[in-house]
Amino acid sequence: MSESAPEQTLRVDAYPTHEVGGYRVRAGKPFPFGANVVPGGVSFSVFSDQATSMTLVIYRRGEPEPMAELEFPQEFRTGSVFAMTVFGLDHENIEYGYRADGPYDPVTGHRFDARQVLSDPYARLIAGRDVWGVEPDRSRGYQYRSRVCLQDFDWGDDTPLGIPAEDLVVYETHVRGFTRHPSSGVTAPGTFAGLREKIPYLKELGINCIELLPVFEFDESDNPRTNPETGEQLFDYWGYNTVSFFAPKAGYAATGRYGMQGDEFRTLIKDLHAAGIEVILDVVFNHTAEGNEQGPTISFKGLDNATYYMLTPEGYYFNFSGTGNTVNCNHPVVRNYVLDCLRHWVADYHIDGFRFDLAAILGRSADGTPLPNPPLLELLAYDPVLRHTKLIAEAWDAGGLYEVGNFPAYGRWAEWNGKYRDTVRSFLKGDPGITGELATRVAGSPDLYSSRGTSASVNFLTAHDGFSLADLVSYNDKHNEANGEGNNDGGNDNASWNCGAEGPTDDPEVNALRLRQMKNALGILFTSQGIPMLLSGDEVARTQQGNNNAYCQDNELSWFDWDQVDQNAELLRFTREMIAFRKHHRELRSTAHPTGQLRDSLGLPDISWHGERAWQPDWSPDSRLLAVARCGTGDDDVVYVAMNSHWEAHDLELPALPGGRTWHLFADTGAEAPYDIRTPGAELELENAGKYLIGPRSVVILVGRTPDAEL
Amino acid sequence: MTLNVKERRNKAGTVLVATGEINSETSGSLLQTLLPLVREGRPLRIDLTAVSYVSSAGLRTLLVVYREAQHAGVAVTLYGVSEEVRFVMSATGFLDFFSAGEAEAAAAKAAAKASATPRAAR
């Protein structure tokens, strides 16, 4: 058999049967939905349950007025699907949309308006916001234009990495923010290509999974506000307002102006995989950019409003998302849409997993009632294509549904563990009476995930939403004035502590304490059972100047300042070594919750709790000190982590070690650099084997091993 | 914009000089020109010095030619790739498919050339 590409096979369906509007056409295939290049033309397929007629609108690329409007013949309709193949189209140089005619009766949920040109919900490319931040021409009637593309990217031998969930170290970042700062030094700042140039940094940091804030096409210019202090335009910087679910954001691609954002994003993913880094996408299926009845009609509203959105009996939009509308996720058509979308990202972009924004909404019925067995969540959990992807829920919504620990998991779903964040933050700032819950959280939250294992818990202290780590230890209160909402936006319950001064200070003691507190946070995070997630920039003390809701700030407030890599090298080194330490010690990544069961090989339990006295943890309301020792099966070492949020030092009595093992110091956040942390395997043997003085507000990490052991 | 191609043959092989844009309108005819040259088995150099823009379809065409040449055991070299075209090829991964030597040659050539002015949004 020849290895060359075969000559094109002649097909009967490569010939037109009808003529519509001067174009040769034939009935298309209902599936797959969207626009697909077929022999001789392009096949268009779109669903609308209540439309009485459907018209395909075709534009020459970039032209304001259509070059053709082709109404689907009735015989091209199968069920509620309109499908037509149009021959002779240059797929690279057209944009398309639909006009759907039907009833306009908001009370019954229908908002058809044939004057509107609608985006294809299955469009794999969108034109109209090709370059980030360019002021759009709003006089054009059709803003977000569907485009046709080939899906023939050459992946070579790229396959999903399949890193076990318990081994993940997640790094949450923003595609643009990661390299947009002038200090980044990349060829194309703020783009997929720019991020690709920073893969060596990520690899050196030691993370093995990158979680990207939304990359589905959104409109960064849909924020009407300005900064009241400077008058500068504010953006929708984070992008939690999806315009088109199958299309990567063109403005995140250096080649977006050429319509090559798909290939650029795939190339980034391919290279991340080659570096051993998985890619998780933050996805937003709880609402769309169409808002409520006052919002724009982009796609779903005009195609089948009553199908896609949760509506009140009066025809208004339920607002469990806090953004105007709520996607009717458990409607059979809509859940298939979500499934098709995720399959597309896994099959066509090799995405390794998804984090679902306000995922509690995905468990609500059409009237908003939480379902005991939500079909969408079950569908995603068992789908053959998604079978090995990571599924992570933000297990709450803006409607008050809070499901952390109770999210319908089907053995597959992990959760952002908000209780871990809140508990560790409270402990770090010195709140009393937290040690009991702290123990539960660092042990993988068995109270929440007893049947699901530790990897159901994504542990984090900071995320895009809220304070950065540096701000968590620098501000008591949020400072969101620049967002233009009178400091009323953003959360008020931050469990932060400024270490003695609000914001930047020259006080060396305050700055030293802040640095120590950041190390304490990282020390606890990376020795906790569960999946650790690090917010991009926390490793170099990135600040947002106290803004805990920087969703609209496309400027240095949000961007990763690469000069801080050198300026905060001490914290970066600490972070790298902590990540390396976690990789070194399997007992920190155990999928099973510890039970206190004795490890025969060491004569110690898998987990034990200690205080100032070995084996005597202090659970009293005033206690601010807790130490945990872990032993893993098959591991020849013990890891001891002492966490002191008290403002005084404490003498620790260390538990005795069996078999000639001795305690070695890996990290002490109370020590000056470079003695604050060591390289795993090069820990310093303690001179006074049974004792260690832990300083005020410090974390100490010890390894119990034989002095000559080579790890 | 159209694409003009001129063929030059010498002892070392065949040189195809392209002028204009390689896009979905012009890439079909370019492919029809290139494939027979590949099948001749002589080393082929594609001179892109006068090519201002290569679209997504154009990049795919070049890759198809390159794949055909690999199967046939024929050396195909891209020459005179402008900085802008080279950047697009790099960002979209297409440059990775050409052998390292050719990529370096393209890079060196691009570095030696005056910087191309990026085109306005199309």
Q: Among A204-213, A220-229, A402-411, B40-49, which range has the highest average pLDDT?
A: A204-213
* pLDDT higher than 50, residue A415: yes
pLDDT at A704: 93
The band of A376, judged by pLDDT with boundaries at 50, 70 and 90, is very high
- Out of A62, A130, A263, name the one closest to residue B92 (CB): A263
Instruction: Tell me whether A260 touches chain B (CB under 8 Å).
Output: yes
Q: What is the DSSP letter of A521?
A: H
Q: Measured between alpha carbons, how far is A465 from A277 in angstroms, rounded to an integer?
A: 23
Contact of B52 with chain A, judged by CB distance below 8 Å, is answered with no
Q: At a CB cut-off of 8 Å and minimum separation 6, what does A512 contact?
A: none
Write down the residue that tokens 């002779």 correspond to: A88
To probe the interface with A, which of B23, B27, B74, B92 has the most A CB atoms within 10 Å? B92
Q: Which of residues 62-91 of B touch A (CB under 8 A)?
A: 63-64, 67-68, 71-72, 87-88, 90-91
Instruction: Give residue-wise pLDDT tens across range B40-83.
Output: 999 999 999 999 999 999 999 999 999 999 899 998 989 899 99
Chain B residues in contact with A188 (beta carbon < 8 A): 87, 91
Mean pLDDT of A231-254: 97
- Mean pLDDT over all residues of chain A? 95
Among B25, B67, B93, the residue with its CB nearest the CB of A263 is B93
Decide: helix, strand or coil at residue A355.
strand
Exposed/middle/buried for residue B122 (C-beta within 10 Å: 0-12, 13-18, 19+): middle
Q: What pLDDT does residue A355 have?
A: 98
Give the pLDDT band (50/70/90) at residue A636. low
Q: Are A96 and A59 in contact (CB under 8 A)?
A: yes
Name, in order, each residue with C-beta under 8 angstroms of A419's C-beta and a sequence gap of 6 or more: A404, A405, A437, A441, A445, A448
**Alpha-helical runs (H) found in chain B:** 27-40, 56-72, 83-91, 94-97, 100-112
Contacts of A501 (CB under 8 A, 6+ apart): A507, A510
Residue in the structure block whose two tokens are 């400072």: A479
- The chain B residue lying nearest A264, using CA atoms, is B92
Q: Is the peptide bond before B36 cis (omega within 30 degrees of 0)?
A: no
Question: Could you give the count of Cα atoms lying within 13 Å of A629 in the half-sphere of its Cβ?
Answer: 28
Question: What is the mean pLDDT of the segment spanning A373-377?
Answer: 96
Q: Enter the pTM of the model.
A: 0.95
In the numeric block, the tokens 């896009």 are attached to: B23
Helix (H, G, I), strand (E, B), or coil: what is residue A353?
strand
A527-563, pLDDT tens digit by residue? 999 999 999 999 999 999 999 999 999 999 999 999 9
Element housing A436 (H / E): helix A435-442
Is pLDDT of A50 > 70?
yes
Q: B115 pLDDT exceeds 80?
A: no
Q: Which residues of A touch B59 (CB under 8 A)?
A: 260, 263
Q: For chain A, first and last CA: distance in Å? A: 52
Q: Is A125 helix (H, G, I), strand (E, B) or coil?
A: strand
- Check CB contact under 8 Å for B64 and A5: yes
Whose CA is closest to A16, among A87, A96, A77? A87
Mean pLDDT of A268-273: 98
pLDDT at B107: 54
The pLDDT of residue A174 is 98
For residue A360, pLDDT over 60 is answered with yes
Banded model confidence at residue B109, pLDDT cuts 50, 70, 90 = low
Size of interface A-B (CB pairs under 8 A): 75
For residue B23, the distance in angstroms to the closest alpha carbon of chain A comes to: 8
Task: Look at residue A689 and tell me whether its pLDDT is greater than 90.
Answer: no
- Taking 50 as the threshold, does the pLDDT of residue B114 lie above it? no
State the average pLDDT over residues A65-78: 97
Residues 6+ apart with CB under 8 A from A64: A140, A141
Tokens of B38: 């590949």
Q: Does A197 touch chain B (CB under 8 A)?
A: no
Q: Chain A closest CA to B71's CA: distance in Å? A: 7
| Tens-place pLDDT, residues A317-337 | 999 999 999 999 999 999 999
3-state percent breakdown (helix, strand, coil) of chain A, nearest 5: 25, 25, 50
With beta carbons under 8 A apart, name residues in chain B contacting A254. Answer: 87, 91
Residues above pLDDT 70, as percent of chain A: 98
- Asked if B57's CB is within 8 angstroms of A92's CB, the reply is yes
The pLDDT confidence band at residue A599, using thresholds 50, 70 and 90, is: confident
In this prediction, residue A6 carries a pLDDT of 45
Angle between helix A332-349 and helix A375-382 axes, rounded to 10 deg: 30
Number of Cβ within 10 Å of residue A243's Cβ equals 25
Residues of B in contact with A95 (CB under 8 A): none
Catalytically annotated residues of A: 357, 394
Residues in chain A: 711
Task: Please check the confidence at residue A3 and state whether its pLDDT lies above 80.
Answer: no
pLDDT tens digit string along A107-159? 999 999 999 999 999 999 999 999 999 999 988 889 999 999 988 999 999 98
> What mean pLDDT comes out for the span A36-48?
95
Determine contact: B9 vs chain A, CB below 8 A: no
Give me the mean pLDDT over the B9-17 stretch: 92
* Residue A4 confidence (pLDDT): 45
pLDDT of residue B110: 54
Site from A63, A92, A186 to mutate, B interface, most B CB atoms within 10 angstroms = A92
Q: Which of A20-29, A346-355, B78-87 has the lowest mean pLDDT?
A: B78-87
- Closest by Cβ to B71, choosing from A3, A92, A192: A3
Identify the pLDDT of residue B101: 44
Name the residue facing B97 among A149, A154, A257 (closest C-beta): A154
Question: Considering only alpha carbons, which residue of chain B is nearest residue A90?
Answer: B24
User: Does any CB of chain B come closer than 8 Å to the CB of residue A135?
Assistant: no
A244 pairs with which residues across the strands? A217
Q: What is residue B96's predicted lDDT score, i.e. its pLDDT?
A: 84
A711 pLDDT more than 60: no
Could you tell me if A270 lies within 8 Å of chain B, comparing CB atoms? yes
Identify the residue whose tokens are 């929440």.
Answer: A448
Q: Which of A61, A252, A258 is the mutation pick for testing B, counting most B CBs within 10 A?
A: A258
- How confident is the model at residue B99, as a pLDDT? 56
Contact list in A for residue B87 (CB cut-off 8 A) is 187-188, 254
Beta carbons of A134 and B57 less than 8 Å apart: no
